[in-house]
Amino acid sequence: MDPKEFGEFVTAWCPGCGNFAILKTLKAALAGLDIPPHKLLMVSGIGQAAKTPHYLRCNGFNGLHGRSLPPAQGAKLANGELTVVAVSGDGCSYGEGGNHFLAAMRRNVDITLLAHDNQIYGLTKGQASPTTMQGQVTKAQPLGAPSNPFNPVAVAIAMKVGFVARGFAGDTELLLDLMQQAISHKGFSLVDILQPCVSFNKVNTYAWYKERVYRLGEDHDPRDWSAAMAKAMEFGDRIPTGVLYREEKPDFAARFPYLAHGPLGKQPVDRDALREVMETFA
Ligand SMILES: Cc1ncc(C[n+]2csc(CCOP(=O)(O)OP(=O)(O)O)c2C)c(N)n1
Ligand code: SF4
Ligand SMILES: [Mg+2]
């Protein structure tokens, strides 16, 4: 399939933003998997990354800040024939959406979360996000961000999420592979994507990442939980990218008997039973 099937749109992103490479790679990944636009649902919250569904020709739902995961999971359960990808920033996914992130990891609905992690609130012009490094000075934190940064991949591995990866917008060859593996994985999958925000994060620049980011080698076994956790904790002078952890396990639908009869949206409605339930509220 041609990535052009997903359209070409004028974006509101700043020239040089890492989001461009991620969007282009996502189109190539989807085309490579032969997922037609009408079988794809992109769901987002609010932020620069969350504008991604606006720039793709497919089904889209742009919800509230921090709330990409609940509608994404609901849509997948209602129509399991859709490929559902939630896409949002580090603030949206791990800050205000933090509890939804935890719930999605526990539920294991078959969706993918692509978190564009620029370690800053881009859309609102540069306040510290949950992944901003401790001590980093921003306009809103002139004395330096006071809190210990959130480590999304370590938390996901602690929760034994079936597919946990870290990518980098500056290594699109690897990113394409990670996106395809994540989307193909049965169950909840996370790709945390390091994405320079050239306008509001002057610390974690392309050069800063390029100096530190490296690809995990053949010697890393993503099925080894302890090794994955050790790699997830590595974020400083060296930052590993690739598949950190993977484990096959039954997804939510396999544990939910009603879904054995097909997608909820396609099952017949028993109107008498429904009326009976509604009458209990009268
Ligand atoms: C309920 C709610 N809370 C807060 C905001 C303000 N807000 C919009 S985007 C954003 C942060 C965006 O940062 P991030 O999710 O990292 O995305 P980025 O813009 O960096 O891609 C915030 C705090 C909002 N719009 N709605
Ligand atoms: S503010 Fe940052 S994240 Fe937003 S479009 Fe500009 S460079 Fe990208
Ligand atoms: Mg951000």
Residues within 6 Å of ligand 2 by CB: 13-14, 17, 19, 48, 118, 122, 197-200
- Reading the chain (282 residues) residue by residue, the pLDDT tens digits are 999 999 999 999 999 999 999 999 999 999 999 999 999 999 999 999 999 999 999 999 999 999 999 999 999 999 999 999 999 999 999 999 999 999 999 999 999 999 999 999 999 999 999 999 999 999 999 999 999 999 999 999 999 999 999 999 999 999 999 999 999 999 999 999 999 999 999 999 999 999 999 999 999 999 999 999 999 999 999 999 999 999 999 999 998 888 888 778 788 889 999 999 999 998
Q: Measured in angstroms, how far is the CA atom of residue 131 from the centroid of ligand 3?
A: 8
Q: Is 199 in the pocket of ligand 1 (CB under 6 A)?
A: no
d(C-alpha 48, C-alpha 102), whole Å? 22
Phi-psi region of 18 (alpha: psi -120 to 50; beta: other; left: phi over 0): alpha
Q: For residue 248, what pLDDT is reported?
A: 97
By the CB criterion, residues less than 5 angstroms from ion ligand 3 are: 89-91, 118, 122
Q: For residue 257, what pLDDT is reported?
A: 82
Q: Measured in angstroms, how far is the CA atom of residue 234 from the centroid of ligand 2?
A: 26
Q: Is 90 in the pocket of ligand 1 (CB under 6 A)?
A: yes
Q: Which CATH architecture has domain 3-279?
A: 3-Layer(aba) Sandwich (3.40)
Q: For residue 263, what pLDDT is reported?
A: 79
Q: For residue 108, what pLDDT is reported?
A: 98
3-state secondary structure of 214: strand
Q: For residue 107, what pLDDT is reported?
A: 97
Tokens of 140: 């809103």
List Cβ neighbours of 10 (8 Å cut-off, separation of 6 or more): none
Ligand sitting nearest the alpha carbon of 49: 1
Confirm if 91 and 83 have CB atoms less than 8 A apart.
no
Closest CA to 61 of 43, 80, 40, 81: 43
Ligand sitting nearest the alpha carbon of 19: 2
Nearest CA to ligand 1 atom 2: 65
Q: For residue 113, what pLDDT is reported?
A: 98
Quick one: how far is CA 44 from the chain centroid?
Answer: 9
Closest ligand 2 atom, residue 47 Cα: 4
Q: For residue 53, what pLDDT is reported?
A: 97
Q: Measured in angstroms, how far is the CA atom of residue 251 from the centroid of ligand 1?
A: 30
Confirm if 246 and 163 have CB atoms less than 8 A apart.
yes
Q: For residue 268, what pLDDT is reported?
A: 87
Confirm if 171 and 215 have CB atoms less than 8 A apart.
yes
